[in-house]
Amino acid sequence: MKKMVTTAALFGLMLPAITQAMEFQTPGTLGMGRAGVARTTDAYATFINPAGLAFYEKAFNMKLGAGVGVSISSSLADNADKIGKLDLGSTDMNYSTPAAAADATTKAVQFAAIVDDLAARKGNLAVNVDIELGFQFQNYGLGVFGVTELGAGVKDIDKTNLRIGTVTSGGSTATNVNTLAINVVNPAYTNVSQITAADAVRPSTQIFSQAQYDQIVAAFQTAGGASVTTQTAQALASKLEAQLAANNTTNLTPEQLVSALNLTATTLNPTNDTIDNNQSTVLLSGLAVVEVPLAYGHKFDLGNFGKLGIGGAVKAMQGSVYYNVVKVSELKDSKDTTTKAKDQHEESTQIGVDLGALWRMEDVAFVGPVSVGLALKNLNSPTFDGPKDPATGAATGKVKVEPQARLGVALDPLSWLSLAADMDLTKNKTVIHGRDSQLIGGGLEAHFDHWYAVWLALRAGMYKNIGEDGSKPIITAGLSLGPQWLRFDLNGAFATEKAKYDNKSYPNEAKVEFGLSTSFF
């Protein structure tokens, strides 16, 4: 996990994206299920909901924080690591001499399986990094907030240019099948007539069921037609089974390998390009924004109807947009899905406008103080310039940060207990094309300000992305330790489901936040 967080931190700050909007950020609230719109009244209100400044509790507050989060889809990250295991930079997947046929073809079949899996499951990888420094003096707020979202997703899948075998094409599919069989079965053979019944015997170590083996044989025969004999197809299937049993470096399942062999059989047509020229690509993108907001909140007394705070923030925004397209075959591992985007970026500056409202009713029967907040961010839709497409040189277009809205509620039923919940009213696009973020979450905080002079607060919560089908709840927790004049915060979140990154299993979504704060008067 340490290696993954380090990678995210190093490259998250410099990898921004080609999409619209960003996930709604609420720094310092992770431990309570990311709920903070109705309960943040300190320096972070400048960024979350400026109306919270109207209800400031201390005349001065300063907060410093940082967070790193990772969301992993096993398909892309795990397959990128598998490609790295193939070591495609050292050898080709097609061969120029028969002696290299067996090893090259074994590698090519595994690559085809990876392409086939990416086509079926797509997959993505996203990293979020944020750094905050906020100041609150009475009902004024000022800060520097840096937010980065970066991601990688499958862009194009090429299931046509997967022709395995020699670097040159024969005159027909049958010729290509027979030539592949001759070279793979025995590099010394020069004609299919030399292939014997002994060559067609299955190896002692078998990874395919009989039905799967028969399916592979049928695929090669179907591709080559009458010119490919059963014995030739069986000899080719048997040799490939032996090679894959001994050299399945990517740990692909038999089902994946069977699917890949069926696919490569159909692409032996001479009109298809070689597998070394496969055009499957990954889109690397991200958006990093550094904001310097100036905020103000004003409170109105509504008498028996409570108090209403209205706030706003005007912010200078420096945006960096990153965009790169990388061939799948060029990936060395899953970390490449972030590092390869760093050279394609464009920076520009805009002004952003946020508004917020916070209504509070004190001493409501049985529940204590109740607060309801509404935060509206980036109302003017600030737009940043995008870089040029590295492949075509054409402009990738501008990136618009779309308006966002979030509703929150908070209450304090006991002097030592706070409850809060937030929900995004807008479905916010992320750096990964087609993936939206609309969070709902909440939690509780038990705070013991004078408990044995420890000044301890404990938090727990949960949130879920209702904007993405099939997403699971994310569990959160956190603690604060220290007096108000110097308090340390630690918050974390993790999913119960696992995914693979850098050849290791991790929760498929995780985030950690650190913070220091001080308050006076």
Write phi, then psi, for 408 (nearest 5 degrees).
Answer: -140, 155
Higher pLDDT, 313 or 152: 313
451: pLDDT strictly greater than 60: no
408: pLDDT strictly greater than 60: yes
11: pLDDT strictly greater than 60: no
Q: Are residues 259 and 333 in the same domain?
A: no
Work out the pLDDT band at 433, boundaries 50, 70, 90: low
Average pLDDT (23-42) is 92
Q: Are residues 61 and 88 in the same domain?
A: no
Work out the pLDDT band at 6, boundaries 50, 70, 90: very low
**Averaging pLDDT over each range in 92-106, 128-142, 333-347, which range is the top one?**
128-142
- Say which CATH number the domain at 63 has: 2.40.160.60
Average pLDDT (168-192) is 92
217: pLDDT strictly greater than 90: yes
357: pLDDT strictly greater than 70: yes
pLDDT value of position 278: 94
299: pLDDT strictly greater than 70: yes
Q: Are residues 365 and 468 in the same domain?
A: yes
Work out the pLDDT band at 10, boundaries 50, 70, 90: very low
Q: What does the pLDDT look like over 237-270, one tens digit per residue? A: 999 999 999 999 999 999 999 999 999 999 999 9
Examine residue 163 and state whether it is found in any structural domain, yes or no.
Answer: no
Q: Of 15, 8, 40, 10, which Cα lies nearest the Cα of 345?
A: 15
Angle between helix axes 74-86 and 101-121 (nearest 10 degrees) is 170
276: pLDDT strictly greater than 80: yes
CA distance 147 to 317: 11
Last residue in a domain, options 219, 245, 273 = 273
Q: Are residues 180 and 283 in the same domain?
A: no
Q: Would the CA dihedral through 272, 276, 277, 283 be positive or negative?
A: positive
Examine residue 318 and state whether it is found in any structural domain, yes or no.
Answer: yes
pLDDT value of position 163: 92
- For residue 223, what are the domain limits? 82-116+168-273
**What rounded mean pLDDT belongs to the chain?**
88
Examine residue 180 and state whether it is found in any structural domain, yes or no.
Answer: yes
Q: Are residues 395 and 428 in the same domain?
A: yes
Work out the pLDDT band at 123, boundaries 50, 70, 90: confident
89: pLDDT strictly greater than 80: no
pLDDT value of position 517: 93
Higher pLDDT, 333 or 13: 333
Alpha-carbon 100 to chain mean position: 38
Q: Are residues 108 and 130 in the same domain?
A: no
pLDDT value of position 452: 52
Average pLDDT (89-109) is 88
The tally of domains found in the chain comes to 2
Write phi, then psi, for 63 (nearest 5 degrees).
Answer: -135, 140
CA distance 385 to 366: 52
Q: Are residues 255 and 176 in the same domain?
A: yes
Contact between 49 and 40 (Cβ < 8 Å): yes
Q: Are residues 172 and 319 in the same domain?
A: no
Average pLDDT (171-180) is 93
pLDDT value of position 16: 37
Share of the chain above pLDDT 70, in %: 91
Higher pLDDT, 125 or 103: 103
Examine residue 162 and state whether it is found in any structural domain, yes or no.
Answer: no
b/e per residue, 229-263, with b = 16+ CB within 10 A? bebbbbbbbbbbbbbbbeebebebebebbbbbbbb
Q: Are residues 263 and 135 in the same domain?
A: no
Q: Are residues 421 and 298 in the same domain?
A: yes
Share of the chain above pLDDT 90, in %: 64
pLDDT value of position 296: 98
Q: What tokens were used for 476?
A: 């959160």
The set of residues, in sequence order, having a beta carbon less than 8 Å from that of 14 and lying 6+ positions away, is 148, 288, 320, 322, 342, 345
pLDDT value of position 367: 86
Last residue in a domain, options 227, 247, 273 = 273
Q: Are residues 135 and 111 in the same domain?
A: no
Q: Are residues 383 and 501 in the same domain?
A: yes
503: pLDDT strictly greater than 70: no
Last residue in a domain, options 216, 242, 273 = 273
Examine residue 250 and state whether it is found in any structural domain, yes or no.
Answer: yes
Average pLDDT (172-189) is 94
Angle between helix axes 210-224 and 254-266 (nearest 10 degrees) is 10
Q: Is the pTM of this model over 0.95?
A: no
Higher pLDDT, 119 or 506: 119
- At which residue do the structure tokens 């103000």 appear? 296
82: pLDDT strictly greater than 80: yes
